[in-house]
Structure 1
Amino acid sequence: MSLTTYHSKLQEHAIFKRFNERWVADPDFRKALNEDKAGTLAGYGINCSPADVQSLFEADVSQPSKAMRAMWQIVVTKTNWVNEFYKKQALPSDLRIYSWRERQIARQLLELGPFHTKSNLHASLSIELTKGCSVGCWFCALSPDRLSGIFEYSTANQVLWNDVLLVLHQYLGTGVQSGFLYWATDPLDNPDYEKLCLDFYKITGVFPPTTTAQALKDPARTRALLKISQERGCWLNRFSILSIKMLNQVHAEFSAEELAQVECLSLNRESAFAFGNAGKFRERANKEPELLQKQRKNLLWAPWYTGDPAYANTEEYPLASIGCVTGFLLNMCDRTVQLISPAAASDRWPLGYYIHAQGTFNDGAELAALLNRMIEEHMSPFLRPSDRLCFHNWLQFEELETGFRLNGRFHQSTTFQGQERHSQWREIGDLVHRGGKTVAEISEIVSVKCNVNPEVVQSMLNELLRAGVLDEINN
């Protein structure tokens, strides 16, 4: 699946994409459309016919109308492109980073469920170019402070920036291409954002995607950014739509064709979009439980939720993180690096991601030394004899005759068993479940009790590591 195929579908169906933006965001539009389709479509300047959207109002969707077929084609081609690029092409070249990333993804399936894990980009890199954010969205799952610093494109910073990118390219290899230049920030807060993107493109070969809530602050700048990014093959840009008024203004300022390759994320309160329950939103929802109940109703719009038995008969909210980086998070203002991976938001991890390691740097050489230390200490593909093992505390341990099973959230589970090794698996499961013992201690106990070579036991323990079931944060 090529990027050209995805972009061609966006261009082909630009008007239906615009219809969908209004349909998802605006309940008044949906109500008016139900009463007078032709008049409502004309009034909103959406150039399609009532027949094109008719199946949205029918219980039987076996014969979907044009709008529904168009959006499905966009979703399918986007999914295919994401799978091709993020899951096959833009992967870390270093085996240690790759194996760490894979086991974190395996853990996320058990902790965050199939939708998050399978649809997530699992990017290896995010870089913030400001300290804080000027927008202040009430629902932001990453809870940034107010804007207090900008990484300017000065002569000294230009040198530092290029050194940083070269180091990241050295350590991540093709994985650096999955990077983007924002996190708990709005990229357009930095007046030099475009220059920094061009350097990223020069070194990595990829122009990074942009998500901004400030598309209307300077429309000329926004158009120029879209132009230079699309000319360089950027796969996606996104506008965060914070209100219906903003949606009206965006649709008035930019034509459907101009925004064909721009996703408009409906983040207004009336939207059918379901928010991630982390950060500021989680704080608000803890005080106003009805807020989360509304999000559960919004989930009924999502086929991935209503059609997947993983989400049946569970009280767990499936959007407990918006994290899409399983790798390194840098801030160029503070010169900080964190090794992070998505996790269910909690009191300890309120932003919906684990911080496995962190540090600071002043130049490219210090960054290289810091990354090397993080890789050595946290990303080994194999357990060390001194590692103390226990399962994640949210996993439910279940003994089996031939081994054991670990049950996660959303009906997800993983089993370790075997007819020839059932006694070893049962003993290993019991020891790790109890916690507190090292790899060396477990290997010795199991090898003696089960009359098996310690190397076999260590190999079995490494299977647990690869499966993502071992708690690497607390041990």
Structure 2
Amino acid sequence: MKITKATRHYRGIFETRSAEQIRELAHTKRFMERLATDPAFRQALGENLACPSKAAEAFGLELDPAEVPTLWRVDHRKWRHSDERQRWPKAAAWDDYIKDMLTHRDMIRDEGATEHIHPKFDRWRQRQIRRSYSELGASAHAVVHPIVAFELSEGCTVGCWFCGLSADKFRGHVSYDEKGEMWKGVVKAMNDRFDTAVQTGFCYWATDPCDNPDYDRFIEDYYHITGALPQTTTAAPLKDEALTRRVLALFDKFKTVTNRFSVLSVRHLDKIHGAFTPEELMGVELVLQSKHSLSAKAHAGRARERVQKLREAGRSEKISELEIDHTTIACVSGFLVSMVRQTVQLVVPVPGSDKYPLGYRVFGERHFEDAASFGAAIDDLIDTHMMADMPAHWPARFRADLVCEPVKNGFRLISRCQEHTIENPSCGRLAGELIVSGHHTMGEVVSALVEAGTDLMVAAEFMDTVFSAGVLEEYSSDVEADTYRAEALAAAVPAE
């Protein structure tokens, strides 16, 4: 069993701090959760600026807000990154903890790399990551692109109004007693192909982990096969408190990633805080989804439907609770596996839209009967939808969301959140013009560059750079690319 850099870093977050430091962080964390979720608490703080401990005591908080003014006083926030940090050690400790957690998040993205294990898959995934930075808006840097997600239930009992994946109503779960052996074979098949990159995986999607009473048995198997305990995100931590506590006990035992509870209202927060101490929730991030919380909902799934309904009703002022630039909650660039339906899909995150209302795109789907056929399905999806080299016969078009501007030696591509310049003095400008025209395949662009005097290797390498940057339209397969090409050629022929 391999211990990755991400796991070592995560365990170090807790092991390098004393028990007292962890305790203080836990109580700071509880203060921040109340601050971000509860408007009544924010009002109480504002009314007790001279003695904010009164507000904290009224809401059952141990931390004195006066010890962490840089975390909540607007006029003090400018001190957070200056020498004044030393005046507020608890606030500085919280800042350092958050930095450590963000570093771990980024390390998870890096742990998904399979360059030396499965180069064809890695090339595809890295292209999707580059695409996401210019396409996903505010969502991009929070997406860590795990390579796999497993669903152990079908549908969801919670029914959050903002669900970015529009989860269906609950229709049942996988029994460990019935499918435990298949489960271990499926996880092993992924581990055999992708090694430590499988440690980025998790076991929910448009489902809630607490809807499966055997959930903790499934994820403990995952740890023993892959070396990492998958992250648990649940909106129902109190539905089966014994199950939740078993999951938290696994965190205490293995410590590889932080779990998450979605908080649906202030009342929900009250119940969670009442059931678990600050120390018990140290390994749990509370995702604050209540109406008056300071966090935004992704513009996908049911939240996107709500925006559309509000606009149709002439109530656009209500849209402020949703952040339109937070485009998706989908995060997997890889495989979505349903253990109930026994299907595996190849998916990537994309902005929620009419074409992709759930904020992810499905490239292909396969069915499996057992672990062996699951492995074959994974291999077939890769062979069908991932190219080892730049596909010369694919139409060369920039993504529809990009605006292309010529520059001296190439072109600048402008998206909703990024500008990306690609240059080459011998062929960059012409390549941009040819791609913008939309009339050529990638191979034809290379040929045109060579005819204009560019060395063949230089032209081919430049087009491969453009392809790898994730700025071109992506086709799900050769069949889709050929179909588009045929339709484009037919449309270009004038009617007789």
Q: How does the TM-score come out when normalised to structure 1? A: 0.89
**C-alpha distance in structure 2 between counterparts of 1:11 and 1:179, whole Å:** 29
**CA shift digits 1:95-151 (9 cap, x unpaired):** 1111111111111111123x5333322111111111111100000001010011211
| Residue-pair matches, total | 447
Find the partner of 1:353 among 360, 377, 381.
360
- Give aligned-pair identity as a percent: 33
Are residues 1:378 and 2:385 paired?
yes
- What residue is the counterpart of 1:392 in the other structure? 399
**CA shift digits 1:399-458 (9 cap, x unpaired):** 223221211112x12222233x1xx2222212222224223322222222x123444322
Is 1:130–1:151's contact at 8 Å kept on the other side of the alignment? yes
**C-alpha distance in structure 1 between counterparts of 2:60 and 2:41, whole Å:** 12
Find the partner of 2:463 among 440, 455, 461.
461
- What residue is the counterpart of 1:314 in the other structure? none
- What residue is the counterpart of 1:25 in the other structure? 37
Find the partner of 2:61 among 35, 46, 56.
46
Runs (4+) of structure 1 exceeding 6 A deviation are: none
Q: Equivalences for 1:125-136 in 2 at 5 Å?
A: 125-136=148-159
Find the partner of 1:273 among 295, 314, 326.
295
- What residue is the counterpart of 2:3 in the other structure? none
**C-alpha distance in structure 1 between counterparts of 2:428 and 2:271, whole Å:** 61
Find the partner of 2:256 among 216, 234, 245.
234
Are residues 1:60 and 2:76 paired?
yes
- What residue is the counterpart of 1:124 in the other structure? 147
- What residue is the counterpart of 1:407 in the other structure? 414
Are residues 1:35 and 2:47 paired?
yes
1:250–1:162: structure 2 CA closer, same or farther, 3 Å change rule? same
Shift of 1:69: 2.8
Is 1:382–1:465's contact at 8 Å kept on the other side of the alignment? no
1:292–1:69: structure 2 CA closer, same or farther, 3 Å change rule? farther
Are residues 1:295 and 2:322 paired?
yes
**C-alpha distance in structure 2 between counterparts of 1:230 and 1:46, whole Å:** 24
**CA shift digits 1:294-352 (9 cap, x unpaired):** 335xxxxxxxxxxxxxxxxxxxx320111221111111111111111111111000111
Find the partner of 1:247 among 269, 280, 284.
269
Q: Equivalences for 1:11-410 in 2 at 5 Å?
A: 11-36=23-48, 37-55=52-70, 56-61=72-77, 62=79, 63=84, 65=88, 68-84=91-107, 86-92=108-114, 93-113=117-137, 115-155=138-178, 157-288=179-310, 289-295=316-322, 317-410=324-417
Is 2:163–2:301's contact at 8 Å kept on the other side of the alignment? yes
Gaps of 5+ in 2: 1-7, 311-315, 482-496
Which amino acid in structure 1 is aligned with residue 128 of structure 2? Q
Q: How does the TM-score come out when normalised to structure 2? A: 0.86
SS of the residue aligned with 2:287? Answer: strand
**C-alpha distance in structure 1 between counterparts of 2:303 and 2:93, whole Å:** 32
- What residue is the counterpart of 1:435 in the other structure? 438
Shift of 1:367: 1.9
**C-alpha distance in structure 2 between counterparts of 1:338 and 1:436, whole Å:** 31
SS of the residue aligned with 1:59? Answer: helix
1:401–1:433: structure 2 CA closer, same or farther, 3 Å change rule? same
Which amino acid in structure 1 is aligned with residue 288 of structure 2? S
Is 2:165–2:206's contact at 8 Å kept on the other side of the alignment? yes
**CA shift digits 1:223-282 (9 cap, x unpaired):** 122112320223211111111111111111111111111111111111111111100000
SS of the residue aligned with 2:11? Answer: helix
Shift of 1:204: 0.4
Q: Could you say what the CA RMSD is over the residues aligned between the two structures, in angstroms?
A: 1.9
Which amino acid in structure 2 is aligned with residue 377 of structure 1? T
Gaps of 5+ in 1: 297-316
Find the partner of 1:470 among 469, 472, 482.
472
Shift of 1:181: 0.2
